[in-house]
A = this chain, B = another copy of it.
Amino acid sequence: MSNSQTVVNPLFLRDEDLRQAIELLFFAYRDFTKRADAILADQHMGRAHHRVVYFVGRHPGISVSELLEILAITKQSLSRVLSHLVREGYIVQKTGTADRRQRLLHLTEKGRKLEVDLTTEQRARIAAAYKTAGAVAVEGFRKVTLGIMDPAARQRFAPGDG
Contact = CB atoms under 8 A, between A and B. Distances in A.
DSSP majority for the A interface?
Answer: helix
A148 B34 CA distance: 12
Contacts of A34: 72
Contacts of A148: 28, 31-32, 125-126, 129
A51 B150 CA distance: 22
Contact of A147 (B15, B128, B147, B156): B128
Contacts of A54: 22
10 contacts: A2-B116, A11-B135, A22-B122, A23-B58, A23-B156, A24-B141, A25-B28, A25-B29, A29-B29, A141-B141
Contact of A24 (B22, B136, B145): B145
For the complex formed by this chain, how many copies does it contain in all?
2
Contacts of A131: 6-7, 9, 11, 13
Interface string A131-160: 111111111111111111110010011000
A98 interface: no
Interface in A22-47: 22-32, 34
Contact of A132 (B18, B126, B147, B153): B147
Given A13-B127, A22-B119, A143 B149 contact: no
B137 A143 contact: yes
Contacts of A11: 130-131, 134-135, 138
Nearest to A151: B31
Contacts of A126: 18, 21-22, 148
A101 interface: no
